[in-house]
Amino acid sequence: MEPGLRLLVQLVIEFAPLIVSLIQKTKETVVNTQEFVPITNGAIPKNSYLAEFEREKIWRQELAVYQRETILEKAKQERETSQKLPEFDKIFANWPLRLSPTQLLEPRHSHSHKPLKIFLAPPQIKFDNFAKDEGEIIEIELILAEGLRSFLNQHYSLHSAVRATEFLAGAWDSKRFHSESSIKALFGMLKTEPILILESEHDGDYLNFRVAYWGLGQDNYYYKTISRLPYKQLLEESAISRALEWKQVRNQLLEFGEELAVINNVGGDNVRNLEIWEKTEKWRSQGIDISKLSGKYQFNYQDIENLCQVLIACHCMVASWMVDVYHLMHHEVSPILPELLPSLCKNKIDLQSVRSLALSYQQLYQEKSDSLPQIAVQLAQSLADLNDRTWAKTQIDYSINTWLQLRQVSPSAALNPLKAMQSVIKAGDEVYIQRLKAYFTAISDTQSLLEVEQLLQAIALLPNQSAPEYATIANTIKGNTAEITSLALTPDGETIVSGCADKTIKLWSLHSGKLIRTLTGNSGPVSSVAVSSQGNFLAVGSCEHPQSNVKVWNYKTGKLLHTLLGHQKPVNLVVISPDGEILASGSNKIKIWDLQKSDRICTLWHSSAVYTAAISPDGTILVSGGADTKIRLWNPRTGEPLQTLVAHKDQVKSLAITTDGTTLLSGSADKTIKIWHLSTGKLLHTFTAHAREVTTLAVSADGRTLFSGSADSTIKIWRLPTGELLQTLTAHSGGVNSLALSTDGQWLVSGSCDQSIKIWRVNNL
- Please tell me whether residues 533 and 664 are part of one structural domain: yes
Give the tens place of pLDDT for each residue, 735-760: 999 999 998 899 999 999 999 999 99
- Please tell me whether residues 606 and 505 are part of one structural domain: yes
Q: What is the pLDDT of residue 407?
A: 77
The rounded distance, in Å, linking the Cα atoms of 111 and 121 is 26
The answer as to whether 89 is a domain residue is no
Last-in-domain residue among 432, 465, 498: 465
- Please tell me whether residues 475 and 498 are part of one structural domain: yes
Distance of CA 320 to the CA centre of its chain: 11
Q: What is the pLDDT of residue 476?
A: 93
Phi-psi map region of 310: left, alpha, beta (phi>0 left; psi -120 to 50 alpha): alpha
- Please tell me whether residues 523 and 622 are part of one structural domain: yes
- Please tell me whether residues 476 and 454 are part of one structural domain: no
- Please tell me whether residues 446 and 493 are part of one structural domain: no
Q: What is the pLDDT of residue 134?
A: 40
Q: What is the pLDDT of residue 96?
A: 78
- Cis-peptide, bond into residue 230, ω within 30° of zero: no
- Please tell me whether residues 651 and 702 are part of one structural domain: yes
Q: What is the pLDDT of residue 227?
A: 79
**What is residue 573's three-state secondary structure?**
strand
- Please tell me whether residues 446 and 490 are part of one structural domain: no
The answer as to whether 684 is a domain residue is yes
Residue ranges with strand state E in 343-437: none
Q: In terms of residue numbers, what domain contains 415?
A: 390-465
The answer as to whether 127 is a domain residue is no
Listing DSSP states for 351-375 in one string gives: HHHHHHHHHHHHHHTTT-GGGHHHH
Q: What is the pLDDT of residue 691?
A: 87
What's the average pLDDT block by block, 10 residues per block, for the chain (765 residues)? 51 53 50 36 42 54 56 56 50 69 65 80 66 50 90 88 85 70 83 89 85 83 83 88 91 88 88 90 84 78 86 86 82 73 57 54 55 75 69 82 80 71 81 87 89 88 65 88 92 91 90 88 84 87 75 85 86 92 92 89 88 94 94 93 92 95 94 92 88 94 93 92 85 93 93 94 80
The rounded distance, in Å, linking the Cα atoms of 296 and 293 is 9
Phi, psi of 498 (to 5 degrees): -120, 135
The answer as to whether 682 is a domain residue is yes
CATH number at residue 550: 2.130.10.10
Phi-psi map region of 135: left, alpha, beta (phi>0 left; psi -120 to 50 alpha): left
The answer as to whether 77 is a domain residue is no
Q: What is the pLDDT of residue 48?
A: 47
- Please tell me whether residues 673 and 534 are part of one structural domain: yes
Q: What is the pLDDT of residue 91?
A: 53
User: Angle, to 10 degrees, between the axis of helix 231-255 and the axis of helix 301-331?
Assistant: 140
Whether the Cβ atoms of residue 615 and residue 577 lie closer than 8 Å to each other? yes
The answer as to whether 403 is a domain residue is yes
Last-in-domain residue among 465, 500, 518: 465
The answer as to whether 85 is a domain residue is no
Q: What is the pLDDT of residue 487?
A: 95
The answer as to whether 754 is a domain residue is yes
Sheet holding 589-594, edge to edge: 573-576, 582-586, 589-594, 600-605
Phi, psi of 15 (to 5 degrees): -80, -25
The rounded distance, in Å, linking the Cα atoms of 634 and 626 is 14
Whether the Cβ atoms of residue 514 and residue 555 lie closer than 8 Å to each other? no
| Closest listed residue to residue 665, CA positions, set 692, 693, 711, 625 | 625
Q: What is the pLDDT of residue 112?
A: 54
Whether the Cβ atoms of residue 128 and residue 135 lie closer than 8 Å to each other? yes
Q: What is the pLDDT of residue 371?
A: 65
Model-wide pTM > 0.85: no
Q: What is the pLDDT of residue 37?
A: 36
- Please tell me whether residues 297 and 414 are part of one structural domain: no
- Please tell me whether residues 435 and 477 are part of one structural domain: no
Give the tens place of pLDDT for each residue, 679-706: 889 888 889 889 899 999 999 998 989 9
- Please tell me whether residues 572 and 451 are part of one structural domain: no
Last-in-domain residue among 435, 465, 495: 465
Q: What is the tally of structural domains in the chain?
A: 3
